[in-house]
Structure 1
Amino acid sequence: MSGNLVIAIGRQCGSSGKIIGQKLAEELGIKCYDKELLALAAKKSGLCEELFQTHDEKPTNSFLYSLVMDTYSMGFTTSGYMDMPINHKIFLAQFDTIKQLADEESCVIVGRCADYALADYPNLVSVFITAEEDDKIKSLKELYHVDDTKAKDIMVKTDKKRSSYYNYYSNKKWGDVRSYDLCINRSSIGVDGTVKLIRNFVDAKMEWNKGNQ
């Protein structure tokens, strides 16, 4: 396990979580991984990248969930246990890739249960970003060039998918304050204010870790 700083960002749809992650990474001089993680996981696992796109942050059934837990408890990896359903392979490939990234470099990772995968890493900072509904709808309208009704539909369906995925593969609850180090309402302080707040929290946690080693 490395001493690299990893900031894991969970986010509601329309909350500007990806933009915040990118700005934060740029200010810290590190990389931000969102969709880029899918390409890395595909390359490392030898699976087709299109499969990762298709199954991105989508839950599977309870049988596959039990397989995931059983496989990790027995120490198998994607490369060592190939006779499993495709959804299982994809989840394990992302899980392994997140851990490898954390061992290799400091970075920001958006979504994909990164906080759960790295729960035992001392320099993990887990953040959840939300925003007021009107702000989220406005952001989605601008991003996708749609009307209010379509923007709300995108928001609701995406959050449902992310919540189901996170709750399924972790032992925590998506969006629950107890699951994160820091929860921020972006509507209260804006994108730049949110980036600044996370940076201040990171500094405080690193200082705390040094004093308690």
Structure 2
Amino acid sequence: MSEKIIVTIGRQFGSNGRKIAFKLAEDLGIKCYDKELITLAAQESGINSEIMEYHDEKPTSSFLYSMVMDSASMGYSSPNILNMPLNHKVYLAEFEVIKKIAKEGSCIIVGRCADYVLKDDPDLISIFIYAPLQKRISFVAATESISESKASTLIHKTDKNRANYYNYYSDKKWANVESYHLSADSSELDIDGTVELLKSYIKIKKNTVQ
């Protein structure tokens, strides 16, 4: 694309936020980052990728676990960094990678407080994808081949982790409409329809800013 577009997408579990993000990136001809951030952050920081994944988008974990596993992390050498709990090191590593990716060009970044990390970027467009709970339960139960009861438990646990993580590291509230430029119910328009909605919004917002 000729103009720079930075889109961050927060999402409720089971709302198809990830699929929407990657479809939007495909249509716009730009890169989308989700789990890829873990690999990049591990490479940049030297922190073991399995440790990165364990702490990814999770709230502050037990102090004991951080102290025990901290010896497995590598790469950071400054006293301030070395004295940080492991989960803070993981957040900082992802923070730096998000900044680097956005600086390099147009992209879509899923989760990980990216909208907060890039809050001062004039090209930022922050989006939140949600859907009614029962529809998400039915979707997760079908895609994961589990009961609706287990799907409900998984949804609540995942969303709680994401909310705690976001609320801890940012000065905003996860899933609060005031925290994003646009919130969209993906169950109303399905994946393709929601992508078309987001594309229209991005185009209008870009034209308005210009």
Give the 5 Å matches for 1:152-191: 152-191=152-191
1:32 pairs with 2:41: no
Question: 2: distance between equivalents of 1:133 and 1:90?
Answer: 30
Counterpart residue type for residue 93 of structure 2: A
User: CA, structure 1 residues 192+41, in 2 after alignment: closer, same or farther (shift >3 Å)?
Assistant: same
- 2:103 maps to 1:82: no
In the TM superposition, residue 4 of structure 1 has moved relative to its aligned partner by 3.0
Identify the residue that residue 66 of structure 2 maps to in structure 1: none
Q: 1:53 to 1:204 in 2, by over 3 A?
A: same
Give the secondary-structure state (helix, strand or coil) at the position aligned to 2:93.
helix
2:139 pairs with 1:139: yes
- Percent identity reads 49
Secondary structure of the residue aligned to 1:174 is coil
State the shift of 1:158 in Å: 0.4
Residue 58 of structure 2 corresponds to residue 58 of structure 1: yes
SS of the residue aligned with 1:116?
Answer: helix
- 3-state DSSP class of the match of 2:81? coil
State the SS of the aligned residue for 1:82.
Answer: helix
**Structure 1 residues 57-76: Cα deviation after superposition (integer angstroms, max 9, x where no partner):** 11117x9xxxxxxxxxxxxx
CA-CA distance at 1:95 after TM superposition: 0.5
In the alignment, the residues of structure 2 paired with residue 8 and residue 39 of structure 1 have an alpha-carbon distance, to the nearest angstrom, of 18
Written as runs of structure 1 = structure 2, the 5 A alignment for 1:97-136 is: 97-136=97-136
SS at match of 2:121: coil
- What runs of 5+ residues in structure 1 fail to find an aligned partner? 64-77
Alignment-mate amino acid for residue 23 of structure 1: K
Q: How many residues align?
A: 194
Q: For residue 48 of structure 2, what is the aligned residue in structure 1?
A: 48
- 1:142 CA drift (Å): 2.5
RMSD of the TM alignment (CA)?
Answer: 1.7
Superposed displacement of residue 79, structure 1? 6.3
Q: Normalised by the size of structure 2, how large is the TM-score?
A: 0.88
SS at match of 2:26: helix
Separation (CA, whole Å) in 2 of partners of 1:79 and 1:188:
49
Q: CA–CA distance in 1 between the matches of 2:22 and 2:77?
A: 31
What does the per-residue CA deviation read over 1:175-200, in whole Å, with 9 as the maximum and x for residues that have no partner? Answer: 11100000011111111111011111
Deviates more, 1:21-30 or 1:136-145: 136-145
2:91 maps to 1:91: yes
Measure, in 2, the Cα distance between the counterparts of 1:9 and 1:98. Answer: 13
Residue matched to 2:68: none
Take 1:181 and 1:79, find their aligned partners in 2: how far apart are those partners?
Answer: 38
TM-score (norm 1): 0.87
